[in-house]
Structure 1
Amino acid sequence: MRRAYADVPAGQIHYVEEGEGDPVLMLHQSPRSWTEFQYVVPLLGRTHRAIAMDTLGYGGSSPVPHTGEGPHQDSVEEYAAGVVMLLDALGIERASLVGHHTGGVIAVEVAAAHPERVHKLVVSCTPFVDAVGRTQRPDVDGAEVQEDGGHLTELWRVRQPYYPPGRPDLLEDFIVDALTAGPRRHEGHAAVARYAMETRLPELACPVLAVGAPGDVAYRDLPRWAEAVPGIRVAEIKGGMVPLPDGMPEEFTDTVRDFLEAA
């Protein structure tokens, strides 16, 4: 895998890529980074140009720029603009997008705002954010910093029920990304809660695959995706939980590749 930074109008975006062929850009959940796809990139890179980026404000990427006074509230539209900036910087006119959780919401906005730039769209364990969905957003990753480090235990405790037993390495990767994001680690979730997805879904013009995992909090929304997007394909990965791409990379990659290579 090759790591690099792309200079963009918002600053710099960190990304990783491997392989050649049709480009596939992967977008992580909040408050993760490209490492959510660290095992998927080399697998998908066998047949595609697999790219995983850090969303603006997360991982190694610059924060969302703002010039106003007071604290800034990120938006899904701003995260999506960062995706387009990276595509432009890499000279990619059209790519398929694979988004997990928050990344799926961002991918929807990119595909709706720039249909000419998106070949196919995969929304993995992505919440359905309409009037109902906006009231069901979980309050996670917002633990206040404590001098004794108790917030680290709290971050771990809240996530642990949605992670597979015997895989503390996956929770460790989450903790690293959460600490890297700092006090803004919850901002991605807040941006999703403010997003009016129901107004953007009618703008989707590309083939869409919705991937669900029974152990994931967004699994309940899979039927709603099937009803809301005409012609959508739906796939379930049995045994999957919140860390689906990094927890079950082979199954995840096979599901994504089958969709990308289908006529």
Structure 2
Amino acid sequence: MPLPRRGYADGPFGQIHYRRLGSGAPIVLLHQAPMTSNQFDFVYPELAARGFEAIGIDMPGFGMSDEVGGAPTVEDYAAVVPAVLDALGIATATVGGHHTGALVSAEAAVRFPDRVRAVVLNGPALFDDADRAGFQTGLHQRELGLVPAPGAAHMVDIFNTRDRLAAGTVSVDRLSEYVVQALVGQSPYWHGHHAAFHYRMEPTLLAIRQPTLILTNTGDMIHDHAHRARALRPDFAWHSLEGGGIDIVDQQPAAWADAVAAFLASVP
């Protein structure tokens, strides 16, 4: 499998690490929390084979990108997209993301409309007040407590959680890589989900003017959110893959790339 080239761009919060593979129409890929641009390892070659230049960004504080300083917001994450495009000499690109990355993609499309040609929202998250309250007392508290522990218990916890979510569809080697991605960043583990749950996506969805694809899969834990997004924007393109989970880009990379390529073939 061909490996992406790596590089850095100077951005508003320091250095931004990115990966790129292929040539052709550029598509920026933004990862979920708490992962890195490695989330799209199996998608880069699929998109490159379909005639795209796939560019994955480590959002601030994730992977090898510098952190924001303090608790970041989705708006902070979106601010690095133009800097990477500038560094690569790209005027406009499709911007797509998964879960937290989908929120960032939507925000980038609205904030930088002259730089974003089209949008791919894979698993958009429309959290309501009940979701936020549950996050504060549940996932947020668990992530705050995820600190180095004897016997690498914190790593085991991440591995077991991702193994449960994958339900046997992701190899042990790849699950181990998920643990590395989750812990390699310069920001605290909890930053990504904290930014996502405090972001209100509905106004952003309504403000998007670019051609947009809502991409989901029936096994995604927030599959119902995609349907809510579709109800708000029935004019957006829609594609639903069968099965999978939150690791759909690993579970069905070819089908995922086919859906994106088919959508972009329809964009003027």
Q: Give me the whole-angstrom Cα distance separating, in 2, the residues matched to 1:126 and 1:136.
A: 18
1:153 aligns with 2:151: no
Q: Give me the whole-angstrom Cα distance separating, in 2, the residues matched to 1:133 and 1:172.
A: 29
Q: Report the CA distance between 1:131 and its aligned residue.
A: 4.0
2:113 corresponds in structure 1 to: 115
Aligned 8 A contact 1:8 1:89 in 2: no
Q: Give me the whole-angstrom Cα distance separating, in 1, the residues matched to 2:128 and 2:109.
A: 17
Q: Report the CA distance between 1:156 and its aligned residue.
A: 1.9
Look up the equivalent residue of 1:75 and give its one-letter code: T
2:139 corresponds in structure 1 to: 139
1:222 aligns with one of 216, 221, 226: 226
2:84 corresponds in structure 1 to: 86
2:238 corresponds in structure 1 to: 234
1:104 aligns with 2:117: no
1:12 corresponds in structure 2 to: 15
Q: Report the CA distance between 1:182 and its aligned residue.
A: 6.4
Aligned 8 A contact 2:166 2:247 in 1: yes
Q: Give me the whole-angstrom Cα distance separating, in 2, the residues matched to 1:188 and 1:158.
A: 17
2:29 corresponds in structure 1 to: 26
Aligned 8 A contact 2:18 2:57 in 1: yes
Residues 58-108 of structure 1: per-residue CA shift (max 9 Å, x gap): 0111111x4xxxxx1110000000122212222222110110111001001
Residues 217-241 of structure 1: per-residue CA shift (max 9 Å, x gap): 1112121011112401221111221
2:200 corresponds in structure 1 to: 196
Aligned 8 A contact 1:162 1:216 in 2: no
1:244 aligns with 2:242: no
1:162 aligns with 2:165: yes
Q: Give me the whole-angstrom Cα distance separating, in 1, the residues matched to 2:147 and 2:116.
A: 38
Aligned 8 A contact 1:28 1:36 in 2: yes
SS at match of 1:184: coil
Structure 1: stretches of 5+ with no match in the other structure: 67-71
Look up the equivalent residue of 1:22 and give its one-letter code: A
Residues 132-162 of structure 1: per-residue CA shift (max 9 Å, x gap): 5534547177123312221112112222222
Q: Report the CA distance between 1:5 and its aligned residue.
A: 1.4
Look up the equivalent residue of 1:249 and give its one-letter code: P
1:69 corresponds in structure 2 to: none
Q: How does 1:175-186 map to 2 (within 5 A)?
A: 175-181=179-185, 184-186=188-190
Residues 32-79 of structure 1: per-residue CA shift (max 9 Å, x gap): 111111111112113011111111110111111x4xxxxx11100000
With normalisation by structure 1, the TM-score equals 0.91
| Of 228-237 and 139-148, the range deviating more from structure 2 | 139-148
Q: Alpha carbon RMSD of aligned pairs, Å?
A: 1.9
Taking a change above 3 Å as real, the CA distance of residues 262 and 220 of structure 1, as seen in their structure-2 partners, is: same
SS at match of 1:119: strand
SS at match of 1:217: coil
Look up the equivalent residue of 2:229 and give its one-letter code: W
| Of 32-41 and 179-188, the range deviating more from structure 2 | 179-188
Q: Report the CA distance between 1:196 and its aligned residue.
A: 1.9
Q: Report the CA distance between 1:187 and its aligned residue.
A: 0.6
With normalisation by structure 2, the TM-score equals 0.89
Look up the equivalent residue of 1:252 and give its one-letter code: W
Q: Give me the whole-angstrom Cα distance separating, in 2, the residues matched to 1:230 and 1:204.
A: 13
